[in-house]
Amino acid sequence: MLEFRRQAFHILLGVVLVILLNFNIIGIKILSLILIIGIIISFLSKKHKIPVVEWFLENFERENVRIRGQGVLTCFLGVIIALLLFEKNIALASILVLSLGDSFCHLGKFGRLKHPFNDLKFIEGLLIGVAVATFGAVFFVSFWQAFLGAAVALVVESFDLKIGNYEIDDNILIPLVAGVIMSLL
Give pLDDT tens digits for 14-61.
Answer: 999 999 999 999 999 999 999 999 999 999 988 888 888 888 877 778
| Domain total of the chain | 1
In whole angstroms, what is the distance from residue 70 CA to residue 22 CA? 25
Residue pair 148/181 in contact (Cβ under 8 Å)? The answer is: yes
Count CB atoms within 10 A of the CB of residue 152: 19
Helix/strand/coil for 83:
helix
Residue pair 113/122 in contact (Cβ under 8 Å)? The answer is: yes
Which residues have C-beta within 8 Å of that of residue 27, sequence separation ≥ 6? 21, 83
What confidence tens digit (pLDDT) does each residue in 105-122 have? 876 666 676 766 666 677
In whole angstroms, what is the distance from residue 104 CA to residue 85 CA? 25
Compute the radius of gyration of the chain from its Cα atoms.
16
- Surface-to-core class of residue 121, CB atoms within 10 Å of its CB (0-12 exposed, 13-18 middle, 19+ buried): buried
In whole angstroms, what is the distance from residue 144 CA to residue 72 CA? 29
Average pLDDT of the chain is 90
Q: What is the DSSP letter of 118?
A: E
For 63, the domain range is 2-184
What confidence tens digit (pLDDT) does each residue in 145-175 have? 999 999 999 999 988 788 888 889 999 999 9
Predicted local distance difference test score (pLDDT) of residue 167: 84
